[in-house]
Amino acid sequence: MIDDPFRKLLPRYTKTVIDFYQTLGLTPNHITLVGLAFSMVAAFLVTQGNYWGAILVWWLGRLADGTDGIYARQTGLATPFGAYLDIVCDMLSYSIMILAFAAIHPDLAFWWQVILLLYVLCITSALALGSLQEKVAFNSSDNRGLRLGAGLAEGGETGLAYSLFLIFPAYIKPLAWLWVGVLMTTVIARSLLARTLLAKSE
């Protein structure tokens, strides 16, 4: 929900970051992997009880994730494999954080499993809808290497949810339930959108 406007705004303010990447001789795929590495460090910090450190490192990783594609497009280095690597690393990043939360809140084990299941449904619905929209020539402003169907829960919302988990650990149970509701709403809404949009092409 918040990713699309942010994705349109971010390229205006990333020149310094892109120049830094080029100075270091990094490729867009390197940046994608750096973002994954930050996520892994954030997950480790969660398990160590360093919640504020985890938030900082997590968002540094999201900065890398948000600029790898911009870097690729601006330098003519965008590749299909880069798009593939980006989405795989994203899902690994989101999932490894859930494993970290499960480690420190084992009493909510069932709900962490539900969240991981809903992640599978969310990414499946996003990729399926995006692919089918492309087949029926659905107009979209999405300039990513892989077209994803929009939804209530995307990368930005996931980061906000994780930040709330860490800032308000005493309320982790209702926050986890709320996140489950957001994810379920995303899957249902995408399914209804798919039925509406794709039925027109039948």
CATH number at residue 82: 1.20.120.1760
In this model, does residue 145 exceed pLDDT 60? no
Q: Closest Cα to residue 155, out of 54, 43, 28, 4? A: 4
Q: What is the pLDDT of residue 146?
A: 53
Q: Is residue 62 within 8 Å of 35, Cβ to Cβ?
A: yes
Mean confidence (pLDDT) of the chain: 88
- Residues 35-88 have pLDDT tens digits of 999 999 999 999 999 999 999 999 999 999 999 999 999 999 999 999 999 999
Q: Please, which contacts does 16-20 make with residues 24 or more away whose CB atoms are closer than 8 Å?
A: 17/63, 17/67, 18/67, 18/70, 18/71, 18/74, 18/75
The closest alpha carbon to 64, from 14, 122, 1, belongs to 14
Contact in structure between 104 and 44 (CB atoms under 8 Å) = no
E-state strands within the chain: none
The pairs formed by 198-202 with CB atoms below 8 angstroms and a separation of 24 or more are 198/132, 198/136, 200/136, 201/136
pLDDT at 155: 81
**pTM of this structure:** 0.88
> Which residues form the domain of 55?
3-199
Q: Is the dihedral of CA 79, 83, 86, 88 positive or negative?
A: negative
Q: How much is the average pLDDT of 14-34?
A: 93
Q: Please tell me the distance from the alpha carbon of residue 170 to that of residue 147, in angstroms, as a whole number.
A: 38
pLDDT at 193: 83
Total domains in the chain come to 1
Of 63 and 140, the structure prediction assigns the larger pLDDT to 63
Is 86 in a helix, a strand, or coil?
helix
CA distances from 8 to 5, 51, 111, 154, 163 (A): 5, 30, 34, 15, 23
Confidence at residue 140, expressed as pLDDT on a 0 to 100 scale: 53
- How high is the pLDDT of residue 13? 80
pLDDT-derived band at 8 (thresholds 50, 70, 90) equals confident
pLDDT beyond 90 at 29: yes
CA-CA distance, 11 to 8, in Å (whole number)? 7
Task: Give residue 151's pLDDT.
Answer: 62
